[in-house]
Structure 1
Amino acid sequence: MWLLYLILGIALLYAGLVFVAALFQTKLLFPAQMAAANRPALPHSAERLELTTADGETLIGVQLGPQSDGKPLLLGFGGNAWNADAMALYLHGLFPEHEVIAFHYRGYPPSTGEPSADALLRDSLTIFDHWQQARSRKIVAVGFSIGSGMAAYLAHHRTLAGLILVTPFDSLKALAREHFAWAPTGLLLCHHIPTIDLVRNQPTPTALIAAGRDMIIPARRSEPLRGAIPNLVLDRTIAEAGHNDLYNHPAFAAAMREAMALIEDAAPR
């Protein structure tokens, strides 16, 4: 009888763990309050942006850098714990001669709504369409970590001058299996970003930059993208970097600038 109780106890514990993981998956994937708590100070030249989505939510963003027809506008999509201010400030530091725009994800204060993969993907099109209609500029999408999925989605549905994917994954489902191999993620995962399907057969000049010691998005999750991207102008792995310290490496800054130069060279005149 004790064996039966032991088996039942293990089964209940497993079921409880699976239930908790499923229940809190959105908060784990989109830590909105953590991102909001780490907003850096912006220079006085920063311009606050605001737009309304088709379903009535308000997205708040920031613009940095000069408006110039000679340089493509950089549209930034940060990692899940990044906010728009940090993303815009970081890209502006790398590319001070470019105009940079980034928006706080839906549900990330001060933007309104509830975050989800589907909503954030759709919002990327809303942001692009708003600025393309207003200024008709060449746009390069830059995506970090989960933001690489939004950038890839945008490149799949709109014409971009270039695409920079930093620590991207082939699909969110495959990545979830990496971290929750003990759970039936295929059945429970509510958020889907099939990056590999979005980049396949897309002609956009694309750069891929990975971290050699990445434990959050391992190399095996980025590797399938290399064979799927037909116009891969830069493929760089910063061997000594991890997922979170990548951005402090001089080699990463050099790779980003090289990627931008190659994309600008590849763009039609």
Structure 2
Amino acid sequence: MWIVKVIIALATFYTAVIVAAYFLQTHLIFPAGLVGQGGAPPGSRTVQLATEDGENVVLVRVAPAAGEIAERPVLLGFGGNAWSANTMATVLHQIFPDHEIAALHYRGYGPSSGRPSSKALFADAALAYDHLAGKSQNGVVAVGFSIGASVAVDLAAKRELEGLVLVTPFDSLKELAAAHYPWLPVRPLLRHHMESAETLGKLALPVAIITAENDDVVPAKRSKPLREAAADLRSDIVIGGTGHNDIYYIGEFAEALRKSVAAVSGD
């Protein structure tokens, strides 16, 4: 009889874990409350964009450095799930002072209202692009870090980009989550869908990929399908000795990002 009680107790506990994972998944995937805002680059400005469902998302824009204005595409940045748009804009502006930079505060992050979701981020990315495209004569290159790479890929399927630069990207949020939580029925539970490899396989624009050699958040198995899906892979750089989160602090990262943007934009 005690064995039956133990089995029931374990089954009850496992069910509770599944229920908790289902309802907490948005917070786990999009930890908006944990994101520090930091300061935007000097001279930056913010633009509020109204969404169709009544929210406001904020786009950070940074002009090229004085004397550096040229015929270069706008770099539209999408950060990782714990990144502020201010941080994303600062990183891109430091590496590309001769480009106009834009970065989006995701829905529910910092000054943007609403609640994040994959659908909301995808829709807001298109909104940001439409704002920029109407003011830029040199096109837009989307630069996505981690989960932001999935946002960039989806944008490329909906709008005309000059190219895509994907840093530590994953092929499928569903498959990535299943790899991290093999003891949970992740696939049927996941409400947020990001199928980047499948989407990228339908596109023909120039793509550059940067990955970390020792990435334990997005293992090589989950980034490899993106390389295989890209019809026009212009650059593929693996930065040795780095992980998912420390890749940005290695000196080689800035040069890799410059080479990647040049490869997809023809500079």
Which bracket does the TM-score occupy, shorter chain normalised?
over 0.9
Tell me, in whole angstroms, the C-alpha distance in 2 between the residues paired with 1:42 and 1:168.
Answer: 25
CA distance in 2, matches of 1:252, 1:62: 23
2:52 maps to which residue?
A: 54
Instruction: Specify the code of the residue in structure 1 equivalent to 2:153.
Output: A
Q: Counterpart of 1:126?
A: 127
Matches for 1:191-202 after TM superposition, within 5 Å: 191-202=192-203
Report the secondary structure of 1:105's partner residue: coil
| One-letter code aligned to 1:107 | G
Q: 1:253 matched to which residue of 2? A: 254
Residues in 1 aligned to 2:205 and 2:252: alpha-carbon distance in whole angstroms: 24
Contact 1:212/1:241 (CA < 8 Å) preserved in 2?
Answer: yes
AA matched with 1:49: V
Amino acid at match of 1:90: V
Deviates more, 1:7-16 or 1:127-136: 127-136
Matched-pair contact (CA < 8 Å) for 1:94–1:257: yes
Across the aligned residues of Structure 1 and Structure 2, the Cα RMSD in angstroms comes to 1.4
Confirm or deny that 1:105 pairs with 2:106. yes
8 Å CA contact retained: 2:141, 2:162: yes
Deviation at 1:136, TM superposition (A): 4.0
Q: Secondary structure at the match of 1:170?
A: coil
* Structure-1 residue corresponding to 2:208: 207
Deviation at 1:131, TM superposition (A): 1.5
Is the 1:69–1:137 contact (alpha carbons within 8 Å) kept by the matching residues of 2?
no
Structure 1: distance between partners of 2:231 and 2:41: 39
Task: Say yes or no: does 1:228 pair with 2:229.
Answer: yes
Shift of 1:44: 3.4
Q: Distance in 1 between matches of 2:43 and 2:182?
A: 47
SS in 1 for 2:135: helix
Q: Over residues 171-220 of structure 1, what are the superposed CA-to-partner deviations in whole Å (9 max), with x where a residue is unaligned? A: 11001101111111111100000001111131211101111111111110
Which residue does 2:16 correspond to in 1?
16
Mind listing any 5+ residue stretches in structure 1 that lack a counterpart?
none
Do 1:84 and 1:103's aligned partners in 2 also have CA atoms closer than 8 Å? yes
Distance (whole Å) between structure 2 residues aligned to residue 228 and residue 44 of structure 1: 38
C-alpha distance in structure 1 between counterparts of 2:46 and 2:133, whole Å: 18
Letter in 1 for 2:59: G
1:55 deviation in Å? 1.4
Q: Return the letter of the residue paired with 1:47.
A: R
> Hey, what does 1:31 align to over in structure 2?
31
Once the 2 structures are TM-superposed, how far is the Cα of residue 134 of structure 1 from its aligned partner?
A: 3.2
C-alpha separation between the residues in 2 aligned to 1:50 and 1:65?
Answer: 17
Q: Is residue 95–residue 254 contact of structure 2 (8 Å, CA) maintained in 1? A: yes
C-alpha contact (below 8 Å) 1:170/1:225 kept by paired residues:
yes
Higher alpha-carbon deviation: 68-77 or 140-149: 68-77
SS at match of 2:209: strand
Structure 2 CA distance for aligned equivalents of residues 224 and 138 of structure 1: 27
Residues in 2 aligned to 1:145 and 1:43: alpha-carbon distance in whole angstroms: 22
CA distance in 1, matches of 2:117, 2:40: 27
**Other structure's SS at 1:233 match:** strand
Shift of 1:65: 2.9
Aligned ranges for residues 87-98 of structure 1 at < 5 Å?
A: 87-98=88-99
State whether residues 74 and 139 of structure 1, in contact with CA within 8 Å, keep that contact through their aligned partners in structure 2.
yes
In structure 2, how many angstroms separate the alpha carbons of the residues matched to 1:42 and 1:156? 29
Distance 2:11 2:58 in 1: 45
- One-letter amino acid matched to 1:42: A
Offset, 1:60: 1.1
**Aligned counterparts of 1:21 and 1:238: Cα–Cα separation in 2:** 33
Answer whether contact 2:104 2:125 (CA < 8 A) is retained.
no
Structure 2 runs not aligned, ≥5 long: none
For normalisation by structure 2, the TM-score amounts to: 0.95
How many equivalent pairs are there? 264
3-state SS of 1:74 partner: strand
Q: Quick one: distance in 1 between partners of 2:72 and 2:129?
A: 17
